[in-house]
Amino acid sequence: MKKTVLFVFLMTALSAWAHSQVLIALLIGDKLNSDKFELGLQLAGNWQNLTGLEGTNGRFSVGFGIYATLKLGEKLSLQPELLFKDPRGAKDVPAEVFGNADLDPLLQDAAVTAKLAYVSLPVILKYGLTPQLSLGFGPQIGFLSSAKKVYVAEVYAQEDLVFKDDIKSALNDFDLALAFNLEYKLMKKKGVHIGLRYYLGLTDIYKDNPGDPVKNSVVQLNVGIPMGGGSKGR
């Protein structure tokens, strides 16, 4: 009980802090940014799946957050991010049997989608191959904020039954991963950048899983939008 209360408190505090950081970025991003530091907004399209489950298919979702890039040298930079909407999951996941004589027959042929949501903290070390192209990798930790299986079935008409099962209590609160990043800047110095990222889940998302580990896997296309015009020296 104490762990649950503490986790809810931390998630609420983190969410509130995340929203405040976005507001700061919008209001004073121009004053914070310089030749050595860049603050911006990040939009991401995630093509995600779950490994360790047979027959699943990928699903697409959109996430967003903020990033900060600190220049460490001529070619090296460090980019911590706060993604407070970072979706996960898969289509065609195994269904559950609920032991309900009225419900189970209705859901036996249902299409089942796992929809997971995390607040994520990646820290990416980037190496510049050219002034515009960089490679990067780093650890990422995700804090589970919601998890459900959505059952869509046909009773009298197509997709007229939608049933949502909250599975958050069956999943681990944290997800650890490695992120591999390829990024291209549209301008040599400050400007919008487009990134391709692979998220390799390292931990089983399920608690006390007796079978094969089930891990998150994501291919992400992201767009970073720096705030403000930067320093006059750019």
Tokens 């079978």 sit on residue: 211
Q: Which long-range contacts (CB under 8 A, 24 or more apart) does 208-212 make?
A: 211/52, 212/52
Contact 142, 171 (CB under 8 A): no
Angstrom distance (rounded) from CA 190 to CA 138 = 22
HEC string of the chain? Answer: CHHHHHHHHHHHHHHHHHHHHHHHHHHHHHHHCCCCEEEEEEEEEEEEEEECCCCCECEEEEEEEEEEEEECCCCEEEEEEEEEEEEEEEECCCCCCCCCCCCHHHHCCCEEEEEEEEEEEEEEEEEECCCCEEEEEEEEEEEEEEEEEEEEECCCCCCCEEEEEECHHHECCEEEEEEEEEEEECCCCCCCEEEEEEEEECCCCECCCCCCCCEEEEEEEEEEEECCCCCCCC
Q: Residues with Cβ < 8 Å from 97, sequence gap 6 or more?
A: 104
- Domains of the chain and CATH, by start: 2-226 (2.40.160.20)
Task: Indicate if the pLDDT at residue 8 is higher than 50.
Answer: no
Contacts of 36 (CB under 8 A, 6+ apart): 70, 71
| 53-100 confidence digits (pLDDT tens) | 989 999 999 999 999 999 999 999 999 999 989 999 999 999 988 888
Q: Does position 30 have pLDDT exceeding 60, yes or no?
A: no
Amino acid at 18: A
pLDDT band at 228 (very low <50, low <70, confident <90, very high): low
Q: Which of 51-60, 203-212, 221-230 is predicted with the least confidence, judged by mean pLDDT?
A: 221-230
Confidence of residue 1 (pLDDT cuts 50, 70, 90): low
State the amino acid at position 221 in one-letter form.
Answer: L
- Of 174, 60, 193, the residue nearest 120 (C-alpha): 174
**Sign of CA pseudo-dihedral 50, 143, 113, 66:** negative
State the pLDDT at residue 108. 87
